Structure 1
Amino acid sequence: MRNEFFIDTESGCIMPNEVAVETANRALVHRPASTGSGDSFIPKMIDADSIAKTQKLLDRAIVLAWRNIKSSRRPPALTRTRWVWRMAGAYHSSRHTTRLMEEARDRFAASGRESLAQWAAQKAREEAGHDRLALLDIQSMGYDAEAVVQALVPSPIQALVDYFFQSVQTTDPIGCVGFFYTAERLGTFQGEQYIQSVEALLPSGTHATRWLRIHTGVGAEVKHVEETVEVVAHLSSEELTRVARACYETALLRFSPPKEDYISDEELQHILKPLELRTLVQVKSAG
């Protein structure tokens, strides 16, 4: 993650009458507007300043998670083989999204929270088919995509998917708002330069960054982040605190290395070799 992410997320005085987001080691705080008791039922006056403060709170939750990761382990350098592993993870992170967000929509609607129901419905539409993009990227790399995603289920991605399910399949699925904000906010820090660095690793003529482009700053992630912040800014202080907590918990999962060792390129090649498309194998044999 680029260092620029940490700029403009540090400031903000801690004052009395603040809502604490409990974490393992520290508390992230939010000072609600002084609307008196029952402010959940009073329409908020939302302006540019309140939206900026809302985003700062959510970003601080992500930064706090980054700081609380004690491990010095870092992912191995990206290679073309490891990109297949990444795209398998992208597939698994995307394939349940539309169904889960439709479920979240129904739960929000049942509790009379129309703005959140509309937000979830929009997410369900926006994310539809993204798992197919990941499959196309894997196929473009010369592999049987369906076989690859059956063989490769990266454990860090599985932990995120499990958290996503848990955040939706509960009485109040508001945690999925923080889950989505974190994923899309982190995506905004990857741009054209990163995409080109990935493409430079791939064989000429390979089109294996379809999924990536949609989930970076050159896609729609910046707009998606802005839309989510505006929805969150209208929430009650209690709801905002829960969204910030979900941002923190999601970021912890995103930043934490797997409990086991990272899979090596040699192991990946051993798994992927039998999954090469026949046409690719024939080309290699002819060469």
Structure 2
Amino acid sequence: MSTDFSVVDNANSAWMHESNTVENNDSFSQKVIDGTSLIKVQMFLDRAIVYAYYAVKSERQPPNRTYTRWVWRLAGAYHSSRHTSRLMEKAAQNFAALGRQDLAKWATQKAKEEAGHDQLALLDIQSMGYDAEAVVQVFNPSPIRDYVNYFTQIVEATNPIDCIGLCYASERLGTFIGEEYIQSVEALLPKGIHATRWLRVHSSVGSEVKHVDDIVELVAHLTPQERNRVARACYETALLRFMPPKEDYILDEEIQGILKPLELSRYLQVQSV
């Protein structure tokens, strides 16, 4: 099968236009999935992510990482994680209702794997000296809200197969975070502060590589039409991940001002009054 995606722009949007030439010996459709077929599937999905990267075409760059901004990033990590298990359980129910027990089993397993990851972010925030529950109440970055809204929308559909693409794009991007990046974050933290629990789990040194491999094998067994839907969801998810916030990036000084009353010592003092 030869598949060619091109990004099409008009005044309002960018989307993938797909032209397919399907050969009789389509390796994706073989009952026995060999290594070559899996590589083709992964390239097919990765191509959608790459197209999303170029479709964004933004010259806005996120601010440099700082100790203060890492707290803000962890708050976003919390909000991106806390709905995952619930939404994947909903997806499993909808897959089961369609008689797709294979996909229901995968979604159920995904719900179990992602359980408690929001708590890792809370532990990281707390270790940095802040009341974690209070921090995540005041910080909920708009790109994360858009991501969660999209996740909710596709899971609540009668056929939630797009959630496979969302999971692939999210976890595939995580595989590009390695030990070097993690250590660069840890270099921002004073000695004795451990605030990369969430990051390590969602990186190449955690479980993301295996999760990506599992999804590739799952997608390899789908029909060509279903694979196309998964790829489109990869593209749309990656757009959300690459898109800068609609508003200006919050300044470190503003983050510091919001965080100051939420320092654990100050927060506990206020609570005790």
Q: Calculate the TM-score normalised by the size of structure 1.
A: 0.86
1:34 corresponds in structure 2 to: 24
Q: Residue 160 of structure 2 aligns to which amino acid in structure 1?
A: P
Give the direction of change, closer, same or farther, for the CA distance of 1:118–1:281 in structure 2 (3 Å limit).
closer
Shift, 1:19, TM fit: 8.1
Shift, 1:70, TM fit: 1.9
* 1:145 aligned residue (128, 132, 156): 132
Give the direction of change, closer, same or farther, for the CA distance of 1:156–1:234 in structure 2 (3 Å limit).
same
2:154 corresponds in structure 1 to: 167
Instruction: Give the unaligned 5+ runs of structure 2.
Output: 9-13
Matched, 1:197 2:187: no
Alpha-carbon distance between aligned partners in 2 of 1:203 and 1:280, rounded to the nearest angstrom = 21
Alpha-carbon distance between aligned partners in 2 of 1:141 and 1:178, rounded to the nearest angstrom = 34
Whether contact under 8 Å (1:21, 1:244) holds in the other structure is no
Map residues 214-225 of structure 1 onto 2, 5 A cutoff: 214-225=201-212
* 2:232 aligned residue (240, 245, 254): 245
Matched, 1:77 2:64: yes
Give the direction of change, closer, same or farther, for the CA distance of 1:113–1:33 in structure 2 (3 Å limit).
farther
Give the direction of change, closer, same or farther, for the CA distance of 1:32–1:49 in structure 2 (3 Å limit).
farther
Map residues 1-287 of structure 1 onto 2, 5 A cutoff: 15=2, 24=14, 26-29=16-19, 31-32=21-22, 34=24, 44-278=31-265
Shift, 1:69, TM fit: 1.1
Shift, 1:44, TM fit: 3.0
Alpha-carbon distance between aligned partners in 2 of 1:126 and 1:87, rounded to the nearest angstrom = 19
Shift, 1:281, TM fit: 9.2
RMSD of Structure 2 on Structure 1 (CA): 2.2
Shift, 1:130, TM fit: 0.3
Shift, 1:117, TM fit: 0.8
Alpha-carbon distance between aligned partners in 1 of 2:218 and 2:6, rounded to the nearest angstrom = 19
Give the direction of change, closer, same or farther, for the CA distance of 1:279–1:150 in structure 2 (3 Å limit).
closer
Alpha-carbon distance between aligned partners in 1 of 2:16 and 2:164, rounded to the nearest angstrom = 22
Give the direction of change, closer, same or farther, for the CA distance of 1:119–1:22 in structure 2 (3 Å limit).
farther
Q: Deviations over 1:96-154 (max 9, x none)?
A: 11111011001111111111111101100000000000000000000000000000001
Give the direction of change, closer, same or farther, for the CA distance of 1:163–1:33 in structure 2 (3 Å limit).
farther
Q: Deviations over 1:135-194 (max 9, x none)?
A: 000000000000000000011111111111011011110111000000100000111111
Give the direction of change, closer, same or farther, for the CA distance of 1:230–1:29 in structure 2 (3 Å limit).
farther
Whether contact under 8 Å (1:92, 1:131) holds in the other structure is yes
Alpha-carbon distance between aligned partners in 2 of 1:222 and 1:29, rounded to the nearest angstrom = 30
Alpha-carbon distance between aligned partners in 1 of 2:156 and 2:6, rounded to the nearest angstrom = 22
Instruction: Give the unaligned 5+ runs of structure 1.
Output: 1-13, 283-287
Identity of aligned residues (%): 63
Q: Residue 124 of structure 2 aligns to which amino acid in structure 1?
A: D
What secondary structure does 1:262 align onto?
Answer: coil
Alpha-carbon distance between aligned partners in 1 of 2:235 and 2:34, rounded to the nearest angstrom = 25
Q: Calculate the TM-score normalised by the size of structure 2.
A: 0.90
Q: Residue 224 of structure 2 aligns to which amino acid in structure 1?
A: S
Whether contact under 8 Å (2:129, 2:264) holds in the other structure is yes
Alpha-carbon distance between aligned partners in 2 of 1:195 and 1:107, rounded to the nearest angstrom = 37
Give the direction of change, closer, same or farther, for the CA distance of 1:82–1:185 in structure 2 (3 Å limit).
same
More displaced 10-residue stretch of structure 1: 20-29 or 162-171: 20-29
Q: Residue 249 of structure 1 aligns to which amino acid in structure 2?
A: E
